Amino acid sequence: MQKKIRVAIVYGGRSGEHEVSLRSAASVFHNLDREKYETFPIAISKEGRWSETPMSAVEKADAALPVVEGAPNVYLAIYPGAGGHHSNGVFCRADGLGTRIDVDVIFPVMHGTFSEDGTIQGLFELAEIPYVGCGVLSSAAAMDKELAKRIVREAGLPIVPYVSVKSGQWNITELVARVSKELGFPVFVKPSNLGSSVGVHRVKDPSALEEAVQDAFRYDTKVLIEKAVNAREIELAVLENPELGKPPMVSIPGEVAPTHEFYSYEAKYLDENGAALMIPAKLDKEQIRTAQKIARSAFQALECEGLGRCDLFLDKKTGEFYFNEVNTLPGFTSISMYPKLWEKSGIPYKELLSRLIDLAVARHARKKELVREFRTT
């Protein structure tokens, strides 16, 4: 019998999107092929404590995996070869004995700060363990919405006009004047390094700008102020091509039609009727080709690997597409767009998870071939 691949599902985290991660992790856990994979759920609390979630608690969980109080603490051994010949990496239980949990690959099902911004990816790199998703560079670049816009603009892709401000380096009078001149109202105010619409506000007039900016600064040290375009929200799932040198695969487009004023956190996760998800989106063939081309180009410009969900705006008045962002660890809940888009494009959820794990293992194997020291020949 073929030996099962040992997968650590790492979830939770110190992020404003902690609860979203618990939901995504539950979906991944329940949909991984049990004949191919042995799973080890590892929770990270809001305070940053890593623990091994008892399987009894996981099996009972339906909509969201728990972070169990008092569960055994674990840590990741961050030195190469920690797992010996048995595996690629190892977690150790902080039980006084250092009992090992050998794993072959990590599936991080995390969103937001310290989760998809390159920080935890750097930890996995130090441990030299395969992990699903983008690497350090692309994770960090895509997470910073303002930096991502600069990169894709350099690649020739269209973006919505914006201004950005940093904490402690802004004056409300000057900011109102600049926004009024360069963008006009209404605008969207959002933390530059966050997702799931946490801390996002639609500001209709100058009097409400200061409060929105201050709230966004609760979540990040850089805030993005973006011209509000009367647009449709089009999303596409991108998947790295397993054939080296081939362009990434792009799903059919989907559309998010919020019933709220915009696609807020409440509309995404708290109100089951907060938005209608339409797959496929009602686009003509030329619009589909354009959207897929932008998504593919953005994925490549940001040097993404594994997966990404590219979000676009389609101006209702002009018919122009604008790049919004790439999510390098998009939601994997039962209602999330990324798996739904691939399902409608011909890749079922269970197969999608297997493909992502295969891509992670293959990338790690390629990197293991790199020389880490100077050689004369």
Mean pLDDT comparison of 266-275, 280-289, 329-338, highest-scoring range: 280-289
pLDDT-derived band at 80, boundaries 50, 70, 90: low
Q: Based on the domain organization, do 104 and 197 belong to the same domain?
A: no
Tell me whether residue 371 is in a domain.
no
Question: What does the pLDDT look like over 115-152, one tens digit per residue?
Answer: 899 999 999 999 999 999 999 999 999 999 999 999 99
Tell me whether residue 366 is in a domain.
no
Q: Based on the domain organization, do 64 and 211 belong to the same domain?
A: no
The CATH number covering residue 214 comes to: 3.30.1490.20
Q: Based on the domain organization, do 221 and 298 belong to the same domain?
A: no
Q: Based on the domain organization, do 154 and 288 belong to the same domain?
A: yes
pLDDT of residue 333: 85
pLDDT-derived band at 85, boundaries 50, 70, 90: very low
Whether the predicted pLDDT of 274 surpasses 50: yes
Distance of alpha carbon 40 from alpha carbon 10, whole angstroms? 8
Domain of 195 in residue numbering reads as 162-227
Task: Specify the range with the lowest mean pLDDT, choosing from 144-158, 183-197, 265-279, 291-305.
Answer: 265-279
pLDDT of residue 83: 47
Tell me whether residue 50 is in a domain.
yes
Q: How many angstroms separate the Cα of 33 from the Cα of each of 5, 37, 150, 203?
A: 10, 6, 40, 46
Read off the pLDDT of each residue in 217-234 and give the average, rounded to a whole number: 94
Q: Do strands 74-76 and 50-52 pair parallel, antiparallel, or not at all (unpaired)?
A: unpaired
Distance of alpha carbon 43 from alpha carbon 338, whole angstroms? 23
Distance of alpha carbon 348 from alpha carbon 3, whole angstroms? 23
Q: How many angstroms separate the Cα of 240 from the Cα of each of 343, 352, 357, 366, 367?
A: 16, 11, 12, 15, 16
pLDDT of residue 86: 43
- The number of distinct structural domains making up the chain is 3
The partner residues of 131 in beta bridges, in order of sequence, read 106
Distance of alpha carbon 185 from alpha carbon 138, whole angstroms? 32
Q: Based on the domain organization, do 254 and 329 belong to the same domain?
A: yes
Distance of alpha carbon 148 from alpha carbon 362, whole angstroms? 26
Whether the predicted pLDDT of 189 surpasses 60: yes
pLDDT-derived band at 66, boundaries 50, 70, 90: very high
Average pLDDT, the chain: 90
240: which 2 tokens? Answer: 């790295």
Tell me whether residue 69 is in a domain.
yes
Q: Based on the domain organization, do 148 and 276 belong to the same domain?
A: yes
Least Cα distance to 12 among 63, 61, 47 occurs for: 47
Task: Specify the range with the lowest mean pLDDT, choosing from 12-21, 23-32, 133-142, 217-226.
Answer: 12-21
The CATH number covering residue 69 comes to: 3.40.50.20
* Strand ranges of the sheet holding 105-109, from the earlier edge strand across to the other edge: 50-52, 37-44, 5-12, 105-109
pLDDT of residue 81: 57
Whether the predicted pLDDT of 362 surpasses 80: yes
* Dihedral sign, Cα of residue 138, residue 268, residue 159, residue 295: positive
Tell me whether residue 353 is in a domain.
no
Residue pair 39/10 in contact by the 8 Å Cβ criterion: no
268 DSSP 8-state letter: I
Read off the pLDDT of each residue in 163-185 and give the average, rounded to a whole number: 96
pLDDT of residue 262: 55
pLDDT of residue 88: 57
Whether the predicted pLDDT of 352 surpasses 70: yes
Residue pair 301/157 in contact by the 8 Å Cβ criterion: yes
Read off the pLDDT of each residue in 283-289 and give the average, rounded to a whole number: 98
pLDDT-derived band at 60, boundaries 50, 70, 90: confident
Please say which residue of 227, 255, 279 terminates a domain: 227
Q: Based on the domain organization, do 317 and 247 belong to the same domain?
A: yes
Which amino acid does the sequence have at 39? Answer: T
DSSP notation for 145-200: HHHHHHHHHHTT--B--EEEEETTS--HHHHHHHHHHHT-SSEEEEETT--TTTT-
Q: In the block, which residue shows the tokens 């004023």?
A: 261
Q: Which helix (H) or strand (E) holds 108?
A: strand 105-109
Tell me whether residue 289 is in a domain.
yes
Tell me whether residue 205 is in a domain.
yes
> Which ranges constitute the DSSP H helices of the chain?
18-31, 55-60, 119-127, 136-143, 145-154, 172-182, 209-216, 265, 285-301, 337-344, 349-368
First vs last C-alpha separation in the chain: 42
Q: Based on the domain organization, do 149 and 291 belong to the same domain?
A: yes
Please say which residue of 227, 254, 272 terminates a domain: 227
Please say which residue of 182, 206, 227 terminates a domain: 227
Question: What does the pLDDT look like over 95-124, one tens digit per residue?
Answer: 766 788 899 999 999 988 888 999 999 999
The model scores a pTM over 0.85:
yes
